[in-house]
Amino acid sequence: MRKKIILITGANGEIGHGLINSLHAKGMDNILALDLHPISKVIEDKIIEGVIGNILDKNLLEQISSDYEVSAIYHLAALLSTRAEFSPQMAHEVNVTGTFNLFSLAVEQAKSQGETVKFFFPSSIAVYGMGQEKDVAGAISESEYCHPQTMYGCNKLYCENLGIYYANYYHRLADDFKPGHVDFRAIRFPGIISTITVPSGGTSDFLPEMIHAAAQGEQYDCFVRNDTRMPFMVMPDAILAILSLMDADKSQLSQHVYNIVAFNPSAGEFADKVKEYFPHAKIGTSINGKRQGMVDSWPADVDDSAARSHWNWSPEFDLDSAFENYLIPQITQRYEK
Ligand code: AKB
């Protein structure tokens, strides 16, 4: 008998750590963690197997599919926006072909088990592409401004649509056509701030980098203007959102893709908050015009009313409580001499 598992790709990444800890705390002890690098020690005891491998390796995925029954997939592996602009070819391979491989695994598993396979996909506000209207558009909904201006954004938007296709129309011309092999659920994440991991390769990295530098007493020159505004949240809320969406009753979900947000300070406002706690913080500005352009194409705020009404999404932390009860306690402890 094949053991039933939850498959998590990109398990060593920012979200991977928090998700594995939370799923394990909920009693899910059947996690197979897949990553390019050896699974880190801090989560090793919370998984049944750590597989070092590449989502582009079809043989490896086939091996996993023949060894296990996969009940759910959390597909976190991806190249983030800045990294993707430097290697667009590789980004397309990893972000699109890699995701396509995981959808193929999900359908194959659903057919062999005769059961639906749940599929979580972390999309991003990078699917949006805006110009001047950013300053007047306010909080945008999921159907507006979906004109991405980055490779990463294009990848995420295409994979959202691919997920919707696999959930509803896959093999629609086949005699045995049956919708619902894959229960596809996606969140368009804003920027995420974690105390445990410092992000790499993203373009929303300026706020996490700023507070991690301040906590270490290091100079930080922000690569975007002070008035730059975009949606953010802290990692515990990102994990909470994934767990809440995946636990939601399917009948509640009349869409597959959701905006979520917790707060959206400008870079300058966030720097002021940092200085409240680290009065000696050395925060300057050294604008990178090209990365500034990417953030300027992302919305200042998003409308997450659908997530709130369909699956009771509500962040635990606003900007003030994020600092007071999560960022400062944990980050000072992390860098305590
Ligand atoms: C990035 O900056 O690439 C990501 C994102 C906003 O999706 N953090």
Q: List, for residues 85-124, the tens digit of each pLDDT value.
A: 999 999 999 999 999 999 999 999 999 999 999 999 999 9
Q: What single-letter amino acid sits at 137? A: A
> CB neighbours of 29 closer than 8 A, spacing ≥ 6?
46, 48
Q: How many CB atoms lie within 10 A of CB 85?
A: 18
Contact (CB, 8 A) for 62 and 36: no
Q: What is the DSSP string of 194-205?
A: -SS----S-SST
Beta-bridge partner residues of 117:
182
pLDDT of 283 reads 98
Give distance in angstroms: CA of 124 to centre of ligand 1: 7
Q: Residue 212: exposed, middle, or buried by beta-carbon count in 10 A (0-12, 13-18, 19+)?
A: buried
Q: Which two tokens stand for residue 188?
A: 């368009």
Distance CA 239, CA 261 (A): 13
Q: Kindly give, in sequence order, each residue whose CB lies less than 8 Å from that of residue 52, ignoring residues fewer than 6 positions away.
A: 35, 36, 37, 38, 39
Ligand 1, atom nearest to 298 Cα = 6
Alpha carbon of 110 to ligand 1 centroid (Å): 31
| Residue bearing the CA closest to ligand 1, atom 4 | 202
202 Cα–ligand 1 center, Å: 5
Whether residue 150 has its Cβ less than 6 Å from ligand 1: no
**Ligand 1 atom closest to Cα of residue 189:** 7
Locate tokens 């009948």: which residue?
251
pLDDT at 227: 98
Does 203 sit in the ligand 1 pocket, CB within 6 Å? yes
Does residue 194 line the site of ligand 1, with CB under 6 A? no
* pLDDT score recorded for residue 337: 61
Residue whose CB lies within 8 A of the most ligand 1 atoms, among 79, 86, 87, 124, for a mutation test: 124
Tell me how long the chain is: 337
Query: How far apart are the C-alpha atoms of 160 and 220, rounded to whole Å?
Result: 35
pLDDT under 70 in the chain at which residues? 337
Compute, in angstroms, the gap from residue 177 CA to the centroid of ligand 1. 36
With left for phi above 0 and alpha for psi between -120 and 50, is residue 192 left, alpha or beta?
beta
Q: Rounded to the nearest whole angstrom, what is the distance from the C-alpha of residue 103 to the centroid of ligand 1?
A: 22
Furthest-apart CA atoms within the chain: distance in Å: 68
Determine the atom of ligand 1 nearest the C-alpha atom of 124: 7
For ligand 1, say whether the CB of 155 is within 6 Å of any of its atoms.
no
Tell me the two tokens of residue 171: 């093999």
| Cβ atoms of 186 and 121 closer than 8 Å | yes
Residue nearest to atom 7 of ligand 1 (CA): 124
Ligand 1 centroid to 173 CA: how many Å? Answer: 37
User: How many CB atoms lie under 10 A from the CB of residue 186?
Assistant: 23
Helices (H), the chain: 14-25, 41-44, 58-67, 81-86, 88-92, 98-113, 134-137, 151-168, 206-215, 235-247, 267-277, 289-296, 305-311, 319-322, 328-335
Q: Which of 192, 193, 257, 298 to mutate to test the pocket of ligand 1 (most atoms within 8 A of CB)?
A: 192
As given in the structure block, the two tokens for residue 92 are 């397309």
- Centre of ligand 1 to C-alpha 86, Å, is 14
Backbone angles phi, psi at 237, to 5 degrees: -75, -30
Report the pLDDT value the prediction gives residue 197, as an integer from 0 to 100: 83
CA of 166 to the centre of ligand 1 (A): 25
Q: Is 126 in the pocket of ligand 1 (CB under 6 A)?
A: yes
Atom of ligand 1 at shortest distance to CA of 230? Answer: 6
State the Cα–Cα distance between residues 302 and 244, nearest whole angstrom: 19
Ligand 1 midpoint to CA 151 (Å)? 12
